[in-house]
Chain A
Amino acid sequence: MNDWEAVIGLEIHVQLNTKSKLFSSAPNQFGHEPNVNISFADTGQPGALPVINKAAIEKAVLFGLAINAHIPEECHFDRKSYFYPDSPRNFQITQFDEPIIVGGSVAVEIDGEEKVFGIHHAHLEDDAGMLKHFSQFAGVDYNRAGVALVEIVSLPCIHTAKEAALFATEIRSIMQYIDASDCNMEEGSLRIDANVSVRKKGETTLRTKTEIKNMNSFANMELAIDAEILRQIDLYQQGKTVTSGTYRFDLATGATILMRKKETADDYRYFPEPDLPPLFLDKNWIAKLKENLPELPRERKKRYIEKLGLSHYSASLLICDKPLGDIFEKGLSQAKNPVSFCNWLTVEFIGRIKNSRKSVEEFGLDILAIASLSNMVDDKIVTGKVAKQIADLMVENPGKTPEKILEENPAFAAITDCSAIETIVDDVLKKNPESVSDFLNGKEKAFNFLVGQVMKVCQGSAPADIVRDLVRKKISS
């Protein structure tokens, strides 16, 4: 097994979140009744013509900038001919030999090391409609026909299923960060095809590859690729050969299943789309877009770890979930201590609302209020323990600020007056002589008990460290 290596290439289709489709003004919306988001051009009506969506070009270029690709001054569109009911013109408008984005790379962290994966190119193309299968017939829904896609083709430089998943995750992240797509695999706005082949380590040529399609999650993709690698190695070890074909992954059996053989290469007869003159991109316009490129996931992660001092784990959490990261950013403007604020947000509050399946904002919580609470603990206005109670109350009453809650519960305020605590300490020590003597006899547990008792009387409003100090002092005297 160890003398084999896998060579994997990914083709990732990302549906752009533009309001209208790539070549028509039909609405780009998911999940409606069939054939309600259609136009003349997308349904291939004779006499209809394509007119390109400016926002689609912008998002494609932003992506190219984010992956440090070359963006040629001129590119054009091509017709790709094939017959299928979901393709109303029986040709797709795509980019074959002069795409909008050439080269580029993404860097990914694997086991603490940075690995760079090259991208061959990325291009714009229009999506096909959907074929819905029934027993006696099939139905065609053109809602999706014409939606703008960016197809990203990696170099065959990926060698493990895990690398593939991380690569795809990074692409997804970038797309979300530049607001080009929500990359939702379940809704189909992110689709991945994997091309897999194996060879003996040291071999320089590539062996026959197979294609895996219709994987609906990153986890399944990893499993599928691993299964296919094993299947191919197995064949070679048995002295057989691998034949090209298209496979799907069966989760139940954990195996890749052949969908169709590839006997002859498809002849798509690509040629330049005569209805669309070439696209010229102005250098100055690209430079301006570059200036306005939002902070990318890797940059944000770096900042979180190096400048804010967040842990790797916390930073990753905030990067992977962009909406969460975004409200964290919002709260940062107010939070004095990013590390504790992060903890309050991601552990305390998310922990409290996770069963609702809502985001912090959807739940009605104000991120600035959470930042305030974090500050209150840092400033020792309340103890950590009391803050948790306040958090409970904030979740029960979304919209209520911690300041308001404190106002309504004066007892929550941290006791700053040491003499008041001293009195309580004296009292507790007097009431628990056995514990005092236990402690003096070496029982640490007794100390904690006494501290606990003081805290109880103070209803958590006494800062723990102060209590401990006082108890210790009083006992020793």
Chain B
Amino acid sequence: MYSLSAKQLSSLVKEGKISAVEVTRYFLKRAEAIDPSVKAFLTLFPEKALAKAHAIDEKIKQGKSVGKLAGVPVAIKDNIHIESELTTCASKFLADYKAPFSATAVRRIEEEDGILLGKTNLDEFAMGSSTETSAFFETRNPWNLSCTPGGSSGGSAAAVASRIAPLSIGSDTGGSIRQPASFCGTFGFKPTYGRISRYGLVAFGSSFDQIGPFANYAEDIALMMDVLAGHCPLDSTSIADSKEDFSASLSQGVENMTIGVPRNLLKELDPSLIDLFNNAINEYVKMGVKVVEIDIPLIKYSIPLYYILAIAEASTNLARFDGILFSKRSTKAKTLKEVYEYSKEEGFGKEVKRRILLGTYVLSAGHQDAYYKKAQKVRRLLIEDFKRIFQTCDAVVLPTVPSAAFELGAIKNPLEMYLQDIYTIFANLAGLPAISMPIGLDKNQKPFGLQISSAQMQDAKVLRLSAALEQQLKLQTCPPLFAKEFS
């Protein structure tokens, strides 16, 4: 059952061939067996999941219609709210915080009869590229347990890669869905900014954040987009009229589409990875796709832009965690000043503190013009650049990350860690849809991902291109360790 797609599973459930309870029990067993070594989950809800599964089976028995995700377990990154469950953001600050409402994305999953399996691990407050800054524990890469699954949505990626859940959702601010998808050999998609509601996602970089799905098959990404995308009146940055039939558009094929490849960015890659990349491009050529060479000169400023703009937004988004109203208050604090200072000292990990300080700096008096305002202007130029690029091609294709998964603890230098996002940040800066899909294994048997991105609102094009390549490559994408039954 672990190798079935979510689409196949929900069809089987709807047709009565297997029950939702059976499916849920199956994946819960896998969680029990696998998660102690992968450590993808912060919380699991077996009772809640089974209760929902029972309810779905009842509906089917009574001949009532059920949703698109009927009986399919879905894991949720722990910075996205499920009402009355904990949302910890992998931080000590929110270790006891019960979400007062469900995220729109979660409600849509529930309305389509998806089964919420549990909350997955992340870098603290989504700040990181390895899930190592989680205040609770580190998640492991299912392809190599001494390596990171990437971050910040490491838990969601690992849960899907190891087939504990067919589907999961994460959040992407600078690459936090795509980079772990690449490291874990899964599909991970960040939609156009505003396509999926941010209501109920704990904000990091408000003009960068998007919720997005992880899956092992392109058709499942499309299925999730059918469920999750759409206008939300509770999010002022939500695009109106953004419902589309993504599943239907997958079959439209890619012949005569044009993809743009920024060749000069590939110079830094390891030769074996360049081979994988070129192989993928050749498959596109075989399908009748035209390839053009493009240049994105401003892409080298991605990191500076991100570490000014996203981090500035984050420094204000995290100001509310202060020990006053809903975050852990330091027991040492006697005065108001101490409540703020000691609570933040004890509640935040180092990476979070560092980013808040930096974000405060770039907004502070005397520095805002040189940093924040300058970055806002360059961001506009980057967006203009991409508008021009997408007049010459349907999509841009490049690697997701410069290399495969690194060992836990291998990267200690913050800047070196930030450079992980060098190929992914552009999509968040320009609000573009972008996917990472597996295109093979490197010489160390670790997955490597290809990134496809298109203009705003062209999410369907991205999905079509990824589905087409998936068909051509026909890869075996389950990590050997978990490609078996656990009873």
Contact = CB atoms under 8 A, between A and B. Distances in A.
Interface of A: 40, 43-52, 79, 81, 83, 85, 88-91, 138, 140, 265, 267, 269, 271, 274-277
For the complex of A and B, the 5 pairs showing the least CB-CB separation, nearest first, are A274-B206, A90-B319, A269-B363, A274-B207, A46-B202
A91 B234 CA distance: 20
B103 A85 contact: no
A81 B319 contact: yes
Contacts of A47: 80-81, 87, 99, 101, 103, 199-203
B304 interface: no
A90 B101 CA distance: 21
B365 interface: yes
Interface string B55-95: 00000000000000000000000001100000101000010
15 contacts: A40-B100, A45-B100, A45-B101, A47-B81, A47-B99, A47-B103, A50-B236, A51-B234, A81-B316, A81-B319, A88-B325, A138-B336, A269-B364, A274-B237, A277-B237
A274 B319 contact: no
Contacts of A40: 100-101
A338 to B, nearest CB: 50
Instruction: Determine the main DSSP class of B at the interface with A.
Output: loop
B380 interface: no
B322 A275 contact: no
A50 B101 CA distance: 15
A44 B320 CA distance: 7
Contacts of A275: 203, 206, 236-237
B207 A85 contact: no
Interface string B193-232: 0000011111101110000000000000000000000000
Contacts of B316: 79, 81, 89-91, 269, 271
Nearest to A142: B325
A336 to B, nearest CB: 54
A271 B312 contact: yes
Interface string B380-391: 000000000000
A40 B364 CA distance: 28
B383 to A, nearest CB: 15
A79 B320 CA distance: 13
A49 to B, nearest CB: 5
Nearest to A264: B365
Nearest to B336: A85
Contacts of A49: 198-199, 234-237
Contacts of B89: 46
A46 B327 CA distance: 10
Contacts of B364: 267, 269
A275 B363 CA distance: 17
A277 B198 CA distance: 14
B360 interface: yes
Given A52-B236, A276-B236, A44 B99 contact: no
B326 interface: yes
A140 B326 CA distance: 13
Contacts of A83: 319, 322, 340
User: B80, B320, B340 — which one has the most chain A CB atoms within 10 A of its CB?
Assistant: B320
B236 A269 contact: no
B87 A269 contact: no
Given A46-B89, A269-B316, 7 more contacts: A40-B101, A47-B101, A47-B103, A47-B201, A47-B203, A90-B319, A90-B320
A151 to B, nearest CB: 20
B473 interface: no
Interface string B338-365: 0010000000000000000000100111
B372 interface: yes
Given A83-B340, A85-B336, A271-B363, A46 B236 contact: no
A88 B320 contact: yes
Nearest to A82: B319
Contacts of A276: 236-237
